[in-house]
A and B are shown apart, each in its own frame.
Chain A
Amino acid sequence: MKILVCMKQVPQKDAPLKLNESGTWIREDVSYEVNEPDAYALEEALRQKEKHGGEVVVITSGPARAQQVLREALAKGADRAIHLEDAAFVGLDALNTARAFAAAIKDEQFDLIFTGLQSDDYGYAQTGVVLAELLGWPHATIIMQIEKNEGGIRVKRELEAGFFQFVDMPLPAVLTIQSGINKLRYATLIGIKQAKNKPLRKVSMSEVQSALSANLQTIERLYVPQKTKQTQFLEGPASEVAKKLVDKLRNEVRVL
């Protein structure tokens, strides 16, 4: 099976975020990491390849810094990488991001495309499904298991409140992967060494531009949400805070 994995670079989970001057995004001077479900998507692709043979290709769009995500994926075992490299790619909405991916892979024949189920920064939960529609492929979302069968694949979809469902579907297909589908591997020293010699194709904005349109939506303003609930903050050294909290639990919450 030939599998493409979309991997996005996002600000690190506990990075302190500051608004940019125009108030439309955060300032770029934060540390970045791979979007969590995308790491699981890569792991799943590597496992499928180990079982059925084939190739794992990773793709990202973003400025030069995003290459780090691809390097890590190559070190873990991906065969090659595609980088849509331009700072302007991050300003695209999910539809245009998916169009750019579709344009960049038009000469390839994948059996499966994996994305994460949503990004940790913008969190649209759309890019994979939009890509499927652009390609005319079937899709399934929030996937927790993938098995090959005669007609194609059988996937396990996570539903709300602890429910699941198996779905049979033909290939090629797009799947959006949920965190926790598998256990992540670490890159090995030898993997890191080998990654340096693996192919990484760069795609410029001008190569895919004709497939894009103006964004269909606009971020007007970004801000720190207002608190609506009255919260009592308990302060002081740990031992004192512990005393204060127990006092509250006893006299206000009345659970002690």
Chain B
Amino acid sequence: MADTILVVVEQREGKLNRVSWETLAGGQALAADTGWALEAAVVGSGVAGFAAEIAAKKISKVYAVESPKLEPYTPDAFSAALKQFLESRQPKLVLMPHTYQVRDFVPKLATAMGRTAISDCIGYKKDGAKLVFTRQMFQGKLAADVSFACDAPWFVTFQNGAFRGDKVEAGASAASVETVNVQIADGVVRNKPQEVFKEAKQAVDLTQAEIIVSIGRGIKEQKNIELAKQLAEALGGEIAASRPICDSGWLPMDRQIGSSGQTVAPKLYLALGISGAIQHIVGMKGSRTIVAINKDSEAPIFEIADYAVVGNLFDIVPPLTEEVKKAKAVG
């Protein structure tokens, strides 16, 4: 049997997760480069509709892996279901998006199968017959090419933004959909998840802000936030922050930008003393213009900045605020 690549897509609250399309695009690219067949699976209870949605894409086959025990999500049930399914299918490569859900069960699944996962990859390279997967290390300061040294199936998870979801190719005709009912014995599922909820109401809606001045740990002390606030005020913008600032209680949670906070796309995002970890970047990379001020010339935030200032924010922000005021006064 020919080698196959299996993409496990993620559905939540009646919708396919956006990053699932990215991983599918990655799967199509890998299939083109390796000549391997591409298949997909959607796991859950009553997921045939999602399978049909994917079957419209350029893909050989789609599976709906079903059991009533898969709803609500638990790592025990997902790992058991996929283990059964993968052992019967024997794909070469299993691709998934690196979501909170996937990182919750994939290490368990891979371990249960005596395999390993190369997690949080940003791409791949094919070097002759060898496949390597690229991942960021040291919070994005370095990258590493990593290869498998074990038998298939090989598990790979891809980071948000690794591929373009809108580049998924449509198929000439709909692929076939097969429902696979998996058996999950009583007692396998140990966790009892409750309803998903959102914490207290938000006081500000940063998604509407046109200008955001965002601070990171480079601000050093709570009292220094005043400097950034003055700049934000001069620019007519809102203040926001990286996670550690909100974790410390220096600014409320609703001003946190990133994967566990708000996603924003203002005209101007000014990052002061933010290193540019991926979990921050996913929340602001859609900004039209990104300005970064950081004392470390190798800070990953500069990778995505349009304008960059390497220097001490405490030297630069006060004169910047003054210049902005002057410019505004001139009108």
Q: Which residues on A are within 8 Å of B, measured CB to CB?
A: 11, 13-14, 16-17, 19, 26, 93-95, 98, 120-127, 129-130, 132-134, 138-142, 158-170, 179-180, 214-225, 227-235, 238-239, 241-243, 245-246, 248-250, 253, 255-256
Mark each residue of chain B from 85 to 97: 1 if its CB lies under 8 Å from any CB of chain A, else 0.
0000000000000
Selected contact of A133 from candidates B111, B244, B310, B311, CB within 8 Å: B111
What residue in chain B is nearest A224 (Cβ atoms)? B142
A160 to B79, CA, bound (A): 21
Q: Which residues of B contact A126 (CB under 8 A)?
A: 103, 106-107, 117, 119
- Give chain B interface residues in 98-142, CB to chain A under 8 Å: 99-100, 103-108, 110-112, 115-120, 132, 135-142
Q: Which residues of B contact A17 (CB under 8 A)?
A: 138, 141-142
Are the C-beta atoms of A229 and B142 separated by less than 8 Å?
Answer: no
Are the C-beta atoms of B142 and A129 separated by less than 8 Å?
Answer: no
Are the C-beta atoms of B311 and A238 separated by less than 8 Å?
Answer: yes
Q: How many residues of B contact A (CB 8 A)?
A: 89
Are the C-beta atoms of A242 and B316 separated by less than 8 Å?
Answer: yes
A167 to B196, CA, bound (A): 10
Q: Which residues of A contact B320 (CB under 8 A)?
A: 241-242, 245-246
Are the C-beta atoms of B324 and A256 separated by less than 8 Å?
Answer: yes
A217 to B115, CA, bound (A): 10
Are the C-beta atoms of B190 and A169 separated by less than 8 Å?
Answer: yes
A220 to B140, CA, bound (A): 17
Are the C-beta atoms of B309 and A241 separated by less than 8 Å?
Answer: yes
Q: Which residues of B contact A249 (CB under 8 A)?
A: 268, 291, 324, 327
Give the residue among A127, A214, A223 with the most B Cβ atoms within 10 A. Answer: A223
Top 3 nearest A-B pairs (CB, nearest first) are A180-B247, A216-B116, A129-B107
A140 to B192, CA, bound (A): 11
What residue in chain B is nearest A180 (Cβ atoms)? B247
A233 to B294, CA, bound (A): 11
Selected contact of B76 from candidates A138, A239, A243, CB within 8 Å: A138
Known: A11-B138, A94-B107, A227-B303. A164 touches B323 (CB 8 A): no
Shortest beta-carbon distance from A59 to chain B in Å: 18
Known: A221-B145, A225-B143. A160 touches B296 (CB 8 A): no
A163 to B199, CA, bound (A): 7
Are the C-beta atoms of B196 and A222 separated by less than 8 Å?
Answer: no
Shortest beta-carbon distance from A5 to chain B in Å: 19
Are the C-beta atoms of A125 and B120 separated by less than 8 Å?
Answer: yes
- Give chain B interface residues in 136-162, CB to chain A under 8 Å: 136-150
Q: Which residues of B contact A218 (CB under 8 A)?
A: 146-149
Q: Which residues of B contact A179 (CB under 8 A)?
A: 243-244, 247
Are the C-beta atoms of B191 and A169 separated by less than 8 Å?
Answer: yes
Selected contact of B195 from candidates A95, A124, A165, A228, CB within 8 Å: A165
Are the C-beta atoms of B302 and A231 separated by less than 8 Å?
Answer: yes
Known: A120-B138, A217-B148, A246-B327. A231 touches B196 (CB 8 A): no
What residue in chain A is nearest B196 (Cβ atoms)? A165
Asked if B230 is an interface residue, CB under 8 A from chain A, the answer is: no
What residue in chain A is nearest B267 (Cβ atoms)? A255
Known: A123-B120, A123-B137, A256-B328. A26 touches B150 (CB 8 A): no
A167 to B75, CA, bound (A): 12
Are the C-beta atoms of A158 and B235 separated by less than 8 Å?
Answer: no
Asked if B305 is an interface residue, CB under 8 A from chain A, the answer is: yes
Q: Which residues of B contact A125 (CB under 8 A)?
A: 103, 107, 119-120
Are the C-beta atoms of A220 and B146 separated by less than 8 Å?
Answer: yes
Known pairs A248-B307, A249-B268; list 16 more (Cβ under 8 Å): A16-B298, A26-B142, A129-B105, A130-B108, A133-B112, A159-B100, A166-B194, A180-B247, A217-B149, A219-B146, A224-B298, A225-B303, A232-B308, A238-B319, A245-B307, A246-B326
Q: Which residues of A contact B196 (CB under 8 A)?
A: 159, 163-165
Selected contact of B309 from candidates A16, A26, A245, A256, CB within 8 Å: A245
Are the C-beta atoms of A225 and B140 separated by less than 8 Å?
Answer: yes
Asked if B211 is an interface residue, CB under 8 A from chain A, the answer is: yes
Are the C-beta atoms of A231 and B146 separated by less than 8 Å?
Answer: no
Give the residue among B107, B138, B323 with the most A Cβ atoms within 10 A. Answer: B107
- Give chain B interface residues in 284-331, CB to chain A under 8 Å: 288-289, 291, 296, 298, 302-312, 315-316, 319-320, 322-324, 326-328
Stretch of B43-51, B171-179, B254-262 with 4 or more beta carbons under 8 angstroms from chain A: B254-262
Selected contact of A220 from candidates B100, B147, B289, CB within 8 Å: B147
Known: A139-B75, A158-B100, A256-B324. A164 touches B142 (CB 8 A): no
Asked if B14 is an interface residue, CB under 8 A from chain A, the answer is: no
Known: A160-B260, A256-B324. A216 touches B307 (CB 8 A): no
Shortest beta-carbon distance from A43 to chain B in Å: 12
Are the C-beta atoms of B149 and A165 separated by less than 8 Å?
Answer: no
